[in-house]
Amino acid sequence: MQCMVKSFAEIGRLKEGIDMALEMQNQGLVPTTRLMNFVMEVAIGRGFLDYAENVFDYLSERGVCPDPNSYKLMVVAYCRMGSILEADAWLRKLIDRDFVIDNDTLTLITNSFCEKGFVTRAIWYFQKMADMGLAPNVLNYTSLINGLCKKGSIKQGFELLEEMVRKGWKPKSSLENYKPNVLTYTAMISGYCRENKMNRAEMLFGRMQEQGLIPNTNTYTTLIDGHCKGGNFERAYELMGKMTDAGFSPNICTYNALIDGLCKRGSGLEADLFTYSILINEQCKRASIEQALALLGRMVKLAVQPDIHTYTIMISALCKQKRMKESEKIFEEAIRLGMSDHGCLPDSITYCALISGLCKESRLKEACRLYDSMLDKGLTPCERLENKLWIGTVNTLVRKLCSEKKVGMAALFFHKLTDKETRVDRVTLAAFYDCLLRKQQICSSFRSDQKNP
């Protein structure tokens, strides 16, 4: 029967399948709690929560006894939707039946209720479940501490942390689940930072390390953000150094904390074009493209105009990740701004980056057109670009053209390459030679080039 319901659901006829399954009871087939839960789960998975409730009511009225999982399915579904009042109603029904939820569900309930501002209710359920026999674990405590701190109830959060420490560090204690972890301390540190109680935040930062816990990127970023908002940039930079030494890389949130602090603090300090370019370049080196794009977007939003160097960094990084549409979009934006006298007109380095990307995607005609366009604009390939970088780009283009058997165009770029560099790369030379042999177009000019080692 379950297979039938699932099959109907997969072809978009879930209700019809469920109706058939329920109708079978008229043929003497008694529905079970297992069937109820399965049908509800399938309905919820397709987004039909109202229908799942109808199934619950229909089968309950016909003698099927719901189990804890029946109620849990509805609670979890409504929590994930953010429908706290509906989740609360189902939780009350669950408690009325003396059912207890599991730790994962309690964590979800706590997070969902706290996010919607129902912190008091989350505390009540936390305590109620504990009274009913559920042993809260570290994630349950951490989610509640986080909710309390976000609400501003720092004292209550700290008391909960102290309770965890007392329970978790008793000699020969079997309550290992109560030991605070990095997430727990980070949540509490975040609360103190929001209240600008940096001494207490630093105290907890030290305590967690004394207990053998290693701060992670989020822990460092939380403290850095707190110190930046308080104007203590010296400590913020010191923490960034420690963070790097510990093997953790700053993320977009870390950089945003520094930038926000510099911009909002009335100290004459501000994040300028140079600062953003360094940060974007660092993220691109780590292949953190999304973070680099976020920094670029933030830069534009704050009216800090990127220059061609910044755009080139992004174009090059996107091409390496084979995200050509985005790189071309940024290239076009640079051209548009360059025409408006914003100092963003693409130079030979920018063209080279995009040409390399197009070659790697085998978009050779576009790469050749872009090369010609660069020359038409009076840009000399080696004017600003390091010689070896330009040679690398043309080598790639020649090899790609040869692999596509476009001999004439490959020969054109091969000669442009030999004009700049007499010692041709052996791989390029072999590819060009092989291409010519296949097309039987060996000429005297090639023989003279072949003499170069």
Provide the residue ranges of all domains of the chain, joining segments of one domain with +: 272-345
| Res. 128: pLDDT tops 90 | yes
| Res. 446: pLDDT tops 50 | no
Q: What is the dihedral of CA 296, 301, 306, 312, to 10 degrees?
A: 30
Retrieve residue 60's tokens.
């309950």
174, 98, 87: which is closest to 129 by C-alpha? 98
Q: Which whole number is the average pLDDT over 289-308?
A: 83
Residues 94-103 pLDDT 10s: 999 999 999 9
| Res. 169: pLDDT tops 50 | no
What pLDDT does residue 131 have? 92
Q: Are 125 and 109 in contact (CB under 8 A)?
A: yes
DSSP string, 405-452: T-HHHHHHHHHHHHHH-SS--HHHHHHHHHHHHHHT---HHHHHHHT-
Q: Which range among 20-34, 198-212, 220-234, 357-371 shows the weakest confidence by mean pLDDT? A: 20-34
pLDDT band for position 451 (50/70/90)?
very low
Q: Which residues contact 283 (CB under 8 A, 6 or more apart)?
A: 252, 289, 291, 292, 295
What pLDDT does residue 99 have? 93
205, 226, 223, 222: which is closest to 214 by C-alpha? 205
| Res. 269: pLDDT tops 60 | no
DSSP state of 342: S
Q: Which amino acid is at 302?
A: L
Distance CA 308, CA 245 (A): 32
Distance CA 446, CA 358 (A): 27
Q: Which whole number is the average pLDDT over 66-81?
A: 93
Distance CA 143, CA 178 (A): 13
Q: Is the dihedral of CA 135, 137, 139, 142 positive or negative?
A: positive
What number of other Cβ atoms are within 10 A of residue 116's Cβ?
16
Q: Which amino acid is at 64?
A: V
pLDDT band for position 173 (50/70/90)?
very low
Residues 7-65 pLDDT 10s: 555 545 666 666 666 666 666 666 778 877 887 888 888 787 888 888 888 778 877 88
What pLDDT does residue 444 have? 46
What pLDDT does residue 192 have? 92
125, 35, 127: which is closest to 87 by C-alpha? 125
What pLDDT does residue 375 have? 76
| Res. 220: pLDDT tops 90 | yes
Distance CA 33, CA 53 (A): 14
Per the model's pLDDT, the better-predicted residue between 174 and 6 turns out to be: 6
Distance CA 348, CA 62 (A): 78
Q: Are 269 and 262 in contact (CB under 8 A)?
A: yes
| Res. 266: pLDDT tops 80 | no
DSSP state of 328: H
What pLDDT does residue 49 have? 87
What pLDDT does residue 193 have? 93
Q: Is the dihedral of CA 30, 14, 60, 87 positive or negative?
A: positive
Q: Which whole number is the average pLDDT over 221-231?
A: 91
